[in-house]
A and B are shown apart, each in its own frame.
Chain A
Amino acid sequence: DVKVTQSSRYLVKRTGEKVFLECVQDMDHENMFWYRQDPGLGLRLIYFSYDVKMKEKGDIPEGYSVSREKKERFSLILESASTNQTSMYLCASRGGTASYGYTFGSGTRLTVV
C-alpha cells in the first residue's frame, strides 16, 4: 500500500514564524498535493506538483509556497504564519492518471497563536 507520511501530527506556532510542513510518499508517485481542510469549507487545494522542481498554484496559494527537490518529498512553507492559517493540512499523492485515486496522509493540525 502507498504510504503518505506527514512529519507532524500537531503543531503550534507563533504569528510571524516560518513554518515547514513535510510530506513523504513511498510509491514513486509523480503527483503530490497540499490541501487545507476547514469546517464548512471542505478541502481546498493550496499547491500541487507533477514532477520534481515543478509546482503549480491551486485555489488558495496566497501566503504559502512549496518545495519539491526530490520526487518523494513535497514541503509546504508558510513564509510568515498568521492566525487565519490555523487549519488541518493534508498531503496527498497520486500515480498515473486521475482514475488511480489519491492517497492522503493523516494530516497536520496547525495552530497559529
Chain B
Amino acid sequence: AQSVTQLDSHVSVSEGTPVLLRCNYSSSYSPSLFWYVQHPNKGLQLLLKYTSAATLVKGINGFEAEFKKSETSFHLTKPSAHMSDAAEYFCVVSDWSGGSNYKLTFGKGTLLTVNP
C-alpha cells in the first residue's frame, strides 16, 4: 500500500529566505509524484510532477523538487520565498492499484507562512 508523509504540518519562513517542505512516500511500484498548492478558499493547483524522467523536477513559480529513490523522498524547495507563496502544500503519490486503475494518496498538507 502506498502512503505519503509530510514531515511538517507548518513551516514559517521570512520573505527572501529558502523554503524546504519535506515529503516521504512509500509505494510498491514506480509511482508518479506531485506537489500541489492550495491558496485560501481555492482549489488545488499543480506545482510540479515527477514521472520517472529527470529526478530534479522544476515547476511553476520557481519551485523544484528532487526525487530520491534511496531515501523515498520528494522534498519541495524554493531558493527565495515570496509573500505570495503563503499557502498550503500537498505532496501526492499516484500509484497503480490494479487493472487500469491508479490511486492518488495525499499527504496531510504543510501550511507555509511567509513573514515580511
Contact = CB atoms under 8 A, between A and B. Distances in A.
Q: Are A and B part of the same complex?
A: yes
Interface of A: 4, 33, 40-43, 45, 50, 56, 90, 92, 97-99, 101-107, 109
For the side of the interface on B, what is the size category? 20 to 34
A97 B102 contact: yes
B104 interface: yes
Interface in B35-50: 36, 41-46, 49
Interface of B: 32, 34, 36, 41-46, 49, 51-52, 90, 94-96, 100-104, 106-109
Contacts of A99: 32, 49, 51-52, 94
Contacts of B94: 98-99
A41 B108 contact: yes
A98 B96 contact: yes
B108 A40 contact: yes
Given A42-B109, A102-B34, 20 more contacts: A42-B106, A43-B90, A50-B100, A56-B101, A90-B43, A90-B44, A92-B44, A98-B96, A99-B32, A99-B52, A101-B34, A101-B46, A103-B46, A104-B36, A104-B43, A104-B44, A104-B45, A107-B42, A107-B43, A109-B41
